[in-house]
Structure 1
Amino acid sequence: MGRAPLRQKGKGRQGIDRRALLVGGGAGAGLLLAWAVWPRSYKPNLNAAPGEFVFNAFLKIDRAGQVIVIVPQLEMGQGITTLLPQILADELGADWRAIAVQSAPESPLYANTLLAREWLASDWTRIGGEAGDWALDQYATRKALMLTGGGTSVPMFHDAYRDAGAAARILLCKAAAKRWNVPWESCDIQEGLISDGGQRTLRFGDVVEAAAAFDLPEILPLRQGMEGRLAGQDLPRLDTPSKLDGSHNFAADIRLPDMVFASIRQGPIGDARLESVNEGAARSVTGFLKLVRSERWVAAVGTNWWAANKALDLADPVFMLDGPPVSDERIDAALEDAFSGSDGRRLYAQGDLLPVFEGATILASEYRVDPGLHLALEPMCATARVTDAGAEVWTATQAPGLARTAIADALGIDRASVTLYPVHAGGSFGRKMDFEAAVQAALIARDMGRPVQLLWSRLEDVIHDRPSPPAHARMAAKLGRSGVIEGWLAKVAAPCAMSQTWARIANGALPHEAAAQSADKATRLAIAGMEIPYAVSNWAIDHYPSDVYLPLGFVRGNAHLHSTFFTESFMDELAHLAQMEAMSFRIQMLGGNPRLAHCLSTAAAMGGWQGGIAGSGQGIAAHRIGDAFGAVLVEAAITGGKLMVGRMVAAVDCGDQVNPDIARQQVESGLIYGLACAMGASVPYDKAMPGRAILGRMNLPRLSDIGEITVELIRSTAKPAGATEIAAPMVAPAVANALFTVTGQRFRSLPLLSQD
């Protein structure tokens, strides 16, 4: 095959290296030349059961007329196994009752190039412009980077599923037209019936075999008109019935012949190695079978999970920790020290701040955000069977191709000998981007010589979570006489969770290694969302990287969680200083951003915005993530020392949504997730351990803490954007701004109220 001029960086280093991009001359020039003479053509690698016919990489149809849609994205509750089939079924003209869903095998055809661009972009790819984007697309495709996350699923695959439906519709029409001896252009499909515009109709199954043999025209004509369209309809989710009756399979539901169960201990947070374990005490547990040891973990295997976990408790494993133990004090000290370190870098700048700030009176504030846990309902889990023929693993993963590689490497077998069965996740919020449980399950299964299901305990899930990054910010701004911001400076000290995640899942770095390797690298990924959407002539944003000794990971909203808290809280402070109503203060600087201004005014109107006057308990915030825009108004108070949110109103513009009801669900879910970040979802750390691990002690929002929730989707003809990410980052600053009107005190830390 030859050698690709594009190559992965070493362990812990992000993306594509400079030499790979600049081979042969100007940015991207050598890369373009090399890949231009190294053509690639990918064909669907779908298996077809008897009576099934493969139409393309996203669709099979059987003789019974069932439409089987292939979905490469992980269903985590966000509804993607309904949204993508709905796009295809709409263009095909299918009957929604005949739609089935099947997980996709690994293939370059399912690479998420959009998320790869966001994740792996660097200064060098940006220099390359379109060539740099093309290079990243090629890298993701040839590596078959199947990734789910960042709200990219619908924007990434919308056109592909539309075209897949159009292609199948044309082939079916051609087959029917040949039978009727009419031009295929005169045929159409609605509600699963092929017709010639007259009295004759056929079902898919009648012509499916013949249809698969026809050729497509060079240009795919798309459906015209709105009659019988499925797009834009609140169709029922395809995964709801099985989840309601309990037949839906998650990783912990897998059952295999002769299967046993395992629980695991991995020591404290950091570079920990197993020193000793009391196997004799473990043998006293009925149902205990064996202890399986690794350098960095020990697992107990039993005939049931309770026995395995109890045996681990009695075995009392001892670990030796190398390096400083993580603690709240060390995290805070590391972030503060970063401001005076030499690794800080200005990543965004416009205008000239120096003459604006020099000799002027400025407002300066400091903010901080604690690491936030994922706390998905389903802990990390995987089922594995390893035989001489290879390995089979059942797990929920947002990066199945990378997981498969890691399993093969751990077992020392060829990658082709690993079969990974992706199952749906019982929640993730980004946690399933890592897949260490799948690797552990495979190693335990090999040792046991029989199938093993590994389920982490809730304690283990909290200890070895990969939380959102802690961050400190120093904000400064200069106001003009008319209340306009003349200068804006943000200095953010934060580690980069996304760089760490990539180092772990793509380069095989251990968590503590990944944290250390990115500790001196300033990156836009760590301050995503700090680039303000408001019209300010002079502004700059600096990033100060740091190692806080806590491995971090991919989360919902990623850096936008802390960035929006910093910017929107500070905007409220500036509005108060300017003696202006907070919404009008923002609107005056949104002339070049009409979609965000529309969201802001809509949320204010629907929520009965009172201008943020003292005692109103109302706060507002707005934000943009890519092509998704949103604003949130909340009503909040502190009652008996507890935060109470009586109302949340969100106005969101995410383009033309395929299923508005699912979009509203995604926004509502984001609002609750953001409220959890504001109220709790964080733990104190001391001596390399979290201070608590019981969900009931996390100060998470309950139904009694949340009042009315209203979500308004702004009508838009723009291309659909992901709605999963936009709401969560706006909630905490809106709540903090609301509490200021009640208490007169600024809440500049997350969580907003002390949990101790």
Structure 2
Amino acid sequence: MEAIGGAIGAAIDRRMLLIGGGAAAGLLIAWGVWPRSYRPNLAKGANETLINAFLKIDTAGQIIVVVPQLEMGQGVTTVLPQILADELGADWRTVAVQGAPISPLYANVLLARQFLANDWSRLAGGAGDWVLEQIATREAMMLTGGSTSVRAFAQSYRDAGAAARVLLCKAAAARWDVSWESCSIVDGLVTDGQRKLRIGELASEAAGFSLPDILPERSPDDDNKRLLGQDVPRLDLPSKVDGSHNFAADIRLPDMLFASIRQGPPGAVRLVSTKEAEAAKITGFLQLVKRDQWVAAVATNWWAANKALDLLDPTFETDTPPADSKAIAQALEDAFDGDRGRRIHERGDLAKSFSGARLLHADYRVAPALHLAMEPPCATARVSDGRAEIWVASQAPAFCRRAVADALGMAEEAVVLYPLSAGGSFDRRMDHEAAVQAALIAREMKRPVQLLWSRAEDIITDRPRPPAHARMTARLVTGGMIDGLAVKIAAPAADAETWARIAHRTPATEAAARASAQADARAVSGLPAPYAIPNIAVDHYPAAIGLPTGRWRGQADSYTCFFTEAFMDELAQKAEIEPMSFRVQHLGHDPKLAQCLTTAAAMGGWQGGVAGSGQGLACHRMDGGAIALLVEAGMENGALRAKSIIAVADVGAQPHPDIARQQIEGGIVFGLAAAMGCAAQYDQGLPARAILGRLGLPRLAHVGAIHVELLPGDGEPAGVGQIGVPPLAPALAGALFTLTGRRHRSLPLIPPA
């Protein structure tokens, strides 16, 4: 109950949670009587009509769709409006998009449930899910991440579009004195089959009608001007092409100053020394703003602020040993011998399967992986007259606003967050230090301030995807079948760390220490693998590595898939069965994944993984979808190159197939970066490399053709933002084995020199 009570915060105290005959009953009683009527808090212009929380319509007929999710390049500000516009019957040329204010109406219950879920909620079953949903909604947990946006909000946008269509049809029917059921909307025009009216003409009247108890959705057989399944133009693309799209660093306010920052390493407790006289020599430098864990330079331009910090040369005192790669590796090794490991999943009788049998073993390791988003953290703040305004891209805006309010000693209602797009994130913008720092600096300077972290600062202070060490053990039986599989993984619990930081504002090192005390199923997501293995066990051993970690595109699947699929290649070799056939014979219960695998093999001309072929393959299930990859690689001047990549995915009926393909392709390239570079080796608390060019990242010239094929599907759309990441590394490792004859059991596969 501790975690749930903390998540609710001050609004509900522990006594209320325990009212009644038991904890679960008390929660149901307490939450059942709590007021929960929410109205849209959207601003609207004089010519706009508010239809519902997701839609406004102006008199000119512009359809303004409200999107609460952070646009990070994934296309969410096109796909969600597309779902609504399709259900409404709108003309896509009239659709615009607007960011949402903070409100319980926009809570991402799906992602919040993943963060909040614990043993108690799982034991409580349906009641637990209901409680978590209420917590997420009432705390306005607006969250973006985990490929949840479409899965969490698709029905809400269908309902919003259907509601608007019904209201507009009722308004038109009243004018024409016909039944509203005889009216429809086609290409933005309301019609009864004979007469037509534009949506904008009816919007204000429509808001006065009531909705039926059951909203009628458009029939699946109605193919008249449908937008779903069409590659409609992206709404954010024109402004990004012409440069008018505003990111955080584009904000300009009257009398604004610019700031850069230097922060202490993990565990920093005090700023020890600075060379202020040197910083003062920089033209344009104005002032230093100091806190125990950071120091910022403020100037008339950002270059001057950052140059002043270079000369300032700040040093910090820490209360923990600095992060070190050797110490991290040892901490992972020691975790296996600790008493905090826990069995996360079990099927069959593994002990019986392994008893007296000849077992096969392999160890795998992954290094911490950096986020390396194109846009470093940035925020602009204006603090005056007891009010704060923050311009920032945040994946958790309600928590970000709360953190700013706490730092300034203000009520949350006095802080306004203006949502902006992000130039990439990969969950880097779950954390919100930049917004808090910008607000504190602006208050001290008594002028608006834009804080932009340098690229080096972004890398040095990154909370990377956690490192992990896996011990894999299996038993093969007659026919090359796996009878038993044991998976033991030592890794930090990054999700628990992230949640403690963003929801409870726990300092990063303290959050890491607390998370290392308990095993977490999210640290081994992606397991058990989608293979029919009768006896299996998955154990997580939480590790305290002295380095705060965070969520990352692909989450723990990004390493668990590498462990599983690389081990499958080794088991196939032991069984003397080519790798694709070996996988397929374990997928009899999963024909869709088997189809992905065989289709990718056929499209890529799979040669059976023979020596010298340069081919490798892998498959995975994630976020409701299935994917298989075939990679053909080669060595050029000692460097690994991906010549071609074939991906076949079963991801349901995607609203915008081209954006789905883009996201899968982006995930593949992201996975390629993880396989070839983007890893951090730590020495004295700092990454050994803090320059992009030295991190072994693939360049466009190193990546051949990527082809993404979507299998026909009519089910609900699966998540596509992450699914391309996990299988790339094991497929590339398999390809590398055919070229070198050596198994590569660590990521990155070939560390940069």
TM-score by length of 2: 0.97
- Counterpart in 2 of 1:216? 211
Matches of 1:546 and 1:19 in 2, distance apart? 34
Bigger shift: residues 70-79 or 221-230: 221-230
- Counterpart in 1 of 2:412? 415
**1:172 and 2:168 matched:** yes
Contact 1:6–1:20 (8 Å) recurs in 2 = no
Partner of 1:375, secondary structure, is: coil
| Pairwise CA distance, 1:608 | 1.3
Matches of 2:24 and 2:742 in 1, distance apart? 52
Matches of 2:347 and 2:198 in 1, distance apart? 60
Deviations for 1:580-625, whole angstroms, at most 9, x for unmatched residues? 1211111112122222112112211111111112211111111111
Residue ranges of structure 2 left out of the alignment (5+ in a row): none
Contact 1:12–1:500 (8 Å) recurs in 2 = no
- Counterpart in 2 of 1:101? 97
> Structure 1 pair 93/288, CA: closer, same or farther in 2 (3 Å)?
same
Letter in 1 for 2:127: A
The correspondence for 2:79, drawn from 75, 80, 83, is 83
- Counterpart in 2 of 1:329? 326
- Counterpart in 2 of 1:118? 114
**Residues 3-42 of structure 1: pairs in structure 2 closer than 5 A:** 8-9=4-5, 24-25=20-21, 28-42=24-38
Matches of 1:18 and 1:154 in 2, distance apart? 34
The CA RMSD measured in Å over matched residues stands at: 1.7
| Pairwise CA distance, 1:123 | 1.2
**1:703 and 2:700 matched:** yes
**1:429 and 2:426 matched:** yes
Matches of 1:108 and 1:402 in 2, distance apart? 12
The correspondence for 2:631, drawn from 631, 634, 638, is 634
| Pairwise CA distance, 1:6 | 9.2
Residue ranges of structure 1 left out of the alignment (5+ in a row): none
Partner of 2:202, secondary structure, is: helix
> Structure 1 pair 154/11, CA: closer, same or farther in 2 (3 Å)?
closer
- Counterpart in 2 of 1:68? 64
- Counterpart in 1 of 2:185? 189
Matches of 2:298 and 2:8 in 1, distance apart? 33
**1:723 and 2:720 matched:** yes
Letter in 2 for 1:289: L
The correspondence for 1:202, drawn from 197, 201, 204, is 197
Matches of 1:490 and 1:523 in 2, distance apart? 15
Letter in 2 for 1:492: I
Letter in 2 for 1:334: A
- Counterpart in 2 of 1:516? 513
Contact 2:501–2:511 (8 Å) recurs in 1 = yes
- Counterpart in 1 of 2:748? 751
**1:149 and 2:145 matched:** yes
Matches of 1:594 and 1:21 in 2, distance apart? 46
Deviations for 1:270-301, whole angstroms, at most 9, x for unmatched residues? 33421121221111110000000011100000
Letter in 2 for 1:208: A
**Residues 251-270 of structure 1: pairs in structure 2 closer than 5 A:** 251-270=248-267
Deviations for 1:428-477, whole angstroms, at most 9, x for unmatched residues? 01101111000000000000000000000011000001110000000000
> Structure 1 pair 10/517, CA: closer, same or farther in 2 (3 Å)?
farther
Matches of 1:184 and 1:355 in 2, distance apart? 67
Matches of 1:665 and 1:50 in 2, distance apart? 38
Bigger shift: residues 145-154 or 177-186: 177-186
| Pairwise CA distance, 1:128 | 1.0
Deviations for 1:652-685, whole angstroms, at most 9, x for unmatched residues? 1111100000000000000000000000011211
Contact 2:19–2:29 (8 Å) recurs in 1 = no
- Counterpart in 2 of 1:577? 574
Matches of 1:502 and 1:412 in 2, distance apart? 22
Contact 2:52–2:160 (8 Å) recurs in 1 = yes
Letter in 2 for 1:383: T
**1:495 and 2:502 matched:** no
Matches of 1:216 and 1:322 in 2, distance apart? 61
| Pairwise CA distance, 1:10 | 5.1
**1:388 and 2:385 matched:** yes
Letter in 2 for 1:456: W
Matches of 1:672 and 1:22 in 2, distance apart? 49
- Counterpart in 1 of 2:397? 400
Partner of 1:644, secondary structure, is: strand
> Structure 1 pair 26/635, CA: closer, same or farther in 2 (3 Å)?
farther
Partner of 1:729, secondary structure, is: coil
| Pairwise CA distance, 1:23 | 5.9
- Counterpart in 1 of 2:156? 160
Letter in 2 for 1:48: K
- Counterpart in 1 of 2:247? 250
Deviations for 1:135-181, whole angstroms, at most 9, x for unmatched residues? 11111001000000000000000000011001001111111111111
**Residues 429-468 of structure 1: pairs in structure 2 closer than 5 A:** 429-468=426-465
Matches of 1:689 and 1:269 in 2, distance apart? 9
Contact 1:172–1:208 (8 Å) recurs in 2 = yes
Matches of 1:288 and 1:47 in 2, distance apart? 39
> Structure 1 pair 546/647, CA: closer, same or farther in 2 (3 Å)?
same
> Structure 1 pair 7/366, CA: closer, same or farther in 2 (3 Å)?
closer
- Counterpart in 1 of 2:295? 298
> Structure 1 pair 321/151, CA: closer, same or farther in 2 (3 Å)?
same
Matches of 1:526 and 1:753 in 2, distance apart? 25
Contact 2:261–2:296 (8 Å) recurs in 1 = yes
Matches of 1:281 and 1:498 in 2, distance apart? 41
Matches of 1:10 and 1:213 in 2, distance apart? 42
> Structure 1 pair 276/112, CA: closer, same or farther in 2 (3 Å)?
same
Partner of 1:28, secondary structure, is: helix
Bigger shift: residues 296-305 or 547-556: 547-556
Letter in 1 for 2:375: E
Deviations for 1:221-253, whole angstroms, at most 9, x for unmatched residues? 111211210000001100000000000000000
Contact 2:696–2:751 (8 Å) recurs in 1 = no
**1:686 and 2:683 matched:** yes
Matches of 1:518 and 1:267 in 2, distance apart? 22
| Pairwise CA distance, 1:35 | 2.0
- Counterpart in 2 of 1:484? 481
> Structure 1 pair 307/641, CA: closer, same or farther in 2 (3 Å)?
same
Contact 1:260–1:301 (8 Å) recurs in 2 = yes
- Counterpart in 1 of 2:560? 563
| Pairwise CA distance, 1:20 | 8.5
- Counterpart in 2 of 1:543? 540
> Structure 1 pair 625/414, CA: closer, same or farther in 2 (3 Å)?
same
Deviations for 1:7-34, whole angstroms, at most 9, x for unmatched residues? 7455999xx9999987645673322232
TM-score by length of 1: 0.97
Matches of 2:582 and 2:377 in 1, distance apart? 45
- Counterpart in 2 of 1:236? 233
Matches of 2:270 and 2:557 in 1, distance apart? 34
Letter in 2 for 1:148: T
Deviations for 1:405-438, whole angstroms, at most 9, x for unmatched residues? 0000001111110000010001101101111000
| Pairwise CA distance, 1:64 | 0.7
Partner of 2:150, secondary structure, is: helix
Letter in 2 for 1:204: I
Give the number of aligned pairs: 749
Letter in 2 for 1:633: L
Letter in 2 for 1:626: D
